[in-house]
Amino acid sequence: MTVREYGIWIGGEWVDKASKVERTSPAHGTLLARFSEGAEEDVDAAVAAARKAFDNRSIWSGLPGSERAKAISRWLDLIVRDTEKLAKIEAEEVGKPIRFGRGETEWAVELGRYAAALAYQIPGDLVNNIGDANLGLVTREPRGVIGMITPWNFPLVTLFQKLPFALAAGCTAVIKPSELTSGTTLEIAALAKEAGIPDGVINVVSGSGRTVGEALTGHPGVDMISFTGSTQVGKRIAQRCAEQMKRVGLELGGKAANIVFADADLDSAVDGVVFGYILNQGEECVQGTRLLVEEAIAEDFIKQLVDRSKKIRMGLPEDEQADVGALIHEQHMEKVLSYIKTGVDEGAKLEIGGGRLTDNGLGKGFYVAPTIFSGVTPEMTLFRDEIFGPVLAVTTFKSVEEAVALANDTKYGLGNGVWTKDIDKAIQVSRELKSGTVYVNTFLETSVQMPFGGFKESGVGRENGMDGLLEFTEVKSTFIKLGKRALALPHTV
């Protein structure tokens, strides 16, 4: 297998660096790629390129929205052309099965198409009732150079919740992808040049959070940081951005609950809960890692979950039939396994899974079996911490009030699911839930028009939807004093 070699991408050119970060497959243990490791001076060069492309308004920021929309669309067409290649890189570097690599690429394109369309109609307002001598304009301007810092779990989708929206608004970007999964970000940056997006509009500096991430966050030439990652790093970024009053968008961790009432369509609920806890190996900020199930149906529902979980197919990235892949690296696998041990030690009941999987060709990878614990109580670690692995914690409730209180008993607030055939109950419970998204009788299903983001420690700001575009704009009020009328209107009386 050939090892992919990458430079960093600045001003529309590859810049090779002597220092490299090596990425080995979390499923096979083989070397996949060498990413150039950026340094502080590379961040300086990338920000300078992005600044130039932004400040010279004829390059990008001052073009008609329609021109930016067309350029973004040409770029998306090339991404569609290269779907198979991008899906393979994504699957190999993250460890996810190939069909999810394809799905991720397709969803990224869908986000991009929507964002491109928004470039045609960035909203503004006109204030025309402030006296004949005055006129007010409220316009939205692109924020400027956006530093984007992205994680390893969904490298393309987390990027496409930011980049096309920022481009549509007229911003330019310096991206720092995760050092573990930089491949697709670098590939799509080069495709932007092929599509005719001007040099300097998209720049990518791969490397560590400590060097590249810190340099980007503290750079005075960056107007905003848009970050997806852990709550811990998100807090540090928010503090550092505050020093320069830099704008910030944060999409952080979560601890979503699926609430299943006894009157739900239980077959669909079983499907939704299983999908919710295993998708992307559980490495997902809005993973349905908690199940709150009404006591009257709990025993039977857990039995069905266990039966359904036995059918989950674990597999290598190239396995077309696989449902679940490898965790991102050994240390993360050890962290997930230690959460499982803590669950047992704290007295939760292990219903299925609970260990590493090495049979059927998985021995070189970091595979953890889908794991379900019942009897989980709110003080247990399983109920509180973001585990980021295929682990489900089941808790029972007796009343609607108790269900809502349990769901909200977390510092996070990204998403929750509600399962009931009673529409009044569904809406009333949704209103009570402190999370940016609520799924009713489904889980993780959404559309590009709908904003995504967190309450509480799950983040600041929104991605996707019109709100996702507005995040990358500043509001300007222009108060215009009009001169005296040159011509008096003829009076007929």
DSSP string covering 103-123: HHHHHHHHHHHHHHHHGGG--
Binding mask 443-482 for ligand TXE (x = CB under 6 A): ----------------------------------------
Angle between helices 83-94 and 65-81 (to 10 degrees): 70
Q: Which of the residues 90, 93, 179, 251 is marked catalytic?
A: 251
Single out the segment in contact with ligand TXE by CB under 6 A; choices: 32-40, 48-56, 93-101, 175-183.
Answer: 175-183
Candidate residues 36, 153, 430, 437; the one interacting with ligand TXE per rule CB under 6 A:
153
Binding mask 375-414 for ligand TXE (x = CB under 6 A): -----------x-x--------------------------
Nearer to ligand TXE, 114 or 227 (CB): 227
Q: How far is the CB of 440 from ligand TXE (least distance, A)?
A: 23
Asked whether the beta carbons of 313 and 321 are under 8 A apart, the reply is yes
- Known catalytic membership, residue 13: no
Name the helix (H) or strand (E) containing 432. helix 423-432
φ, ψ (nearest 5 deg) of residue 481: -90, 120
Binding flag, residue 285, ligand TXE (CB under 6 A): yes
Nearer to ligand TXE, 52 or 236 (CB): 236
Candidate residues 26, 38, 112, 151; the one interacting with ligand TXE per rule CB under 6 A:
151
Identify the residue whose tokens are 């970050």. Answer: 227
Listed residue (485, 442, 128) closest to 275, CA to CA: 442
# chain residues binding ligand TXE, by CB under 6 A: 24
Candidate residues 26, 142, 218, 253; the one interacting with ligand TXE per rule CB under 6 A:
253
Binding flag, residue 167, ligand TXE (CB under 6 A): no
Phi-psi region of 95 (alpha: psi -120 to 50; beta: other; left: phi over 0): left
Q: How far is the CB of 132 from ligand TXE (least distance, A)?
A: 52
Gap between the Cα atoms of 37 and 34, Å rounded: 9
Candidate residues 95, 229, 317, 436; the one interacting with ligand TXE per rule CB under 6 A:
229
Helices (H), 98-203: 98-118, 155-160, 163-169, 183-194
Q: How many helices (H) and strands (E) does the chain have?
A: 16, 23
Binding flag, residue 214, ligand TXE (CB under 6 A): yes
Candidate residues 251, 351, 463, 471; the one interacting with ligand TXE per rule CB under 6 A:
251
Q: How far is the CB of 163 from ligand TXE (least distance, A)?
A: 14
φ, ψ (nearest 5 deg) of residue 421: -90, -5
- Amino acid (one-letter) located at 71: A
Gap between the Cα atoms of 52 and 144, Å rounded: 10
Gap between the Cα atoms of 151 and 463, Å rounded: 15
Single out the segment in contact with ligand TXE by CB under 6 A; choices: 232-240, 292-300, 346-354, 416-424.
Answer: 232-240
Q: What is the token pair recorded at 251?
A: 């999409």
Q: Which residues bind ligand TXE (CB under 6 A)?
A: 149-153, 176, 178-179, 209, 213-214, 217, 228-230, 233, 236-237, 251-253, 285, 386, 388
Active site residues: 251
